[in-house]
Structure 1
Amino acid sequence: MADCNSGAVDRAADLHAIVRIGDAIRGVVDTARAVNLAALNAMLSSRRGGGNIVGFRVATSELRGVSTRLMDDMEDLTVLVSGMVNEVALRQRKRRNQAYFGRVQDGQARITDLLADIAGKQGGEVERLSHQLRQRRRELGLKTIRALRLCDQGQALSRSALIEAAYGGESAPVLKQVAEQLALSIRSVADTLDDVRGELEKEAS
């Protein structure tokens, strides 16, 4: 009975970990959307600064591209996580069925062969789903690493925007503030994705 409870706790922890990853990804999407909007506002503001701040405009335009790609990547991750949640739930159901048929088999010898066959099939399904879940975790890990590389690019661009903001004349204080906000947002996305990667590594160990 203790083993059964321990397995239930492990499976619940598995599901909770995936849900936490899903929540983190939704947070990244929200922040990436904010980066996109802030970069657009920065581009519009920089037009008032004239030709001196072309570099700022270029950097913020590139940041918009980074944030758009991040949102696309997070959409892929959301689909993956949704599939993982379904697979974990299905695997739990198959495990419960397998345990049930095992208990019935112990209690009624005359239908042992039939139940053993059913229990074996449930076990095979559990193994297949576990393998599929491991593959999805690997894929999620690779996509997270790719998104982190985008964040590195975004951080470099936000630093460039901060440098270029100094050439904005009267607009320089506003442009500097926008560039700092963009840098903070990208850093927030990177931190969240680092947490996701840590969660995946913890689950893999």
Structure 2
Amino acid sequence: MRVNEQIKDVVRPAFRISIMALNAILLARRAGDAARGFGVLSGELRRFAGELSQNMEALRQLTATSVIAVTALVKDGRYLAIIDRVGQPDGAIGEQVEQVRLRQQRANERRLGELKQMRSALAQLVGDLRPLVQLGIVLARLARVEAAYGGAFAQSLTQVSAEFSRTIEQIEAALVGLTKATEGARG
């Protein structure tokens, strides 16, 4: 499914940020007081990556549930088509077939409603990720500013902050793809 691939396109860079942030925290400790702000921002970026990963897991689970619901809906549609092809027998069997058909139609209507809710929740979750990614962008920019105060480690810290920025840009691009994949899901 296309959404699952786009989720992976967010999860991979989020994992990278988490590892980079851990390394950046250690580098900031080595740099001492001059890089204390950079270390704090690296910790925040690590928390950002963790929160992003949690949201992606929720999105993945919701997507999987949606796929299961669609599969059940298709299966039930095929079942109804078979009943319609068989036709309406006479007598008690005909009444039973009609009862089964009506139950199946009600189940389909219920599933369609559930699926609409899931699609709406999916679109909402993706929409709610935008402010989180914007926070990551701000943190990466602040890390770049703080890197300049890193003394002898300023160049290394600047390289790390640039990598933070590039990685978050990848996440932002993947989020645009997720948004496109889920647009119209609210309706």
How high is the TM-score relative to the length of structure 2? 0.91
RMSD: 1.7
Identify the residue that residue 159 of structure 1 maps to in structure 2.
Answer: 141
Identify the residue that residue 133 of structure 1 maps to in structure 2.
Answer: 115
Task: Give the conservation status (yes or no) of the 8 Å contact 1:28–1:192.
Answer: yes
CA deviations on 1:15-49 (whole Å, 9 max, x unpaired) are xxxx2112211231222111111111111112222
**Mapping of residues 158-197 of structure 1, within 5 Å:** 158-197=140-179
Q: Does 1:145 align with 2:117?
A: no
Give the SS at the match of 2:183. helix
Which blocks of at least 5 consecutive residues in structure 1 are unaligned? Answer: 1-18
Identify the residue that residue 79 of structure 1 maps to in structure 2.
Answer: 61
Greater relative CO (CA pairs within 8 A, separation 6+)? 2
What is the number of equivalent residue pairs in this alignment?
A: 186
Match of 1:102 among 67, 84, 101: 84
CA deviations on 1:133-183 (whole Å, 9 max, x unpaired) are 111111112221222211110100000001111111222222111111111
Q: Does 1:93 align with 2:72?
A: no
Find the aligned partners of 2:87 and 2:100 in 1 and give their Cα distance.
Answer: 10
Residue identity (%): 30
How high is the TM-score relative to the length of structure 1? 0.84
Give the SS at the match of 2:149. coil
Find the aligned partners of 1:96 and 1:69 in 2 and give their Cα distance.
Answer: 41
Which blocks of at least 5 consecutive residues in structure 2 are unaligned? Answer: none
Find the aligned partners of 1:51 and 1:165 in 2 and give their Cα distance.
Answer: 12
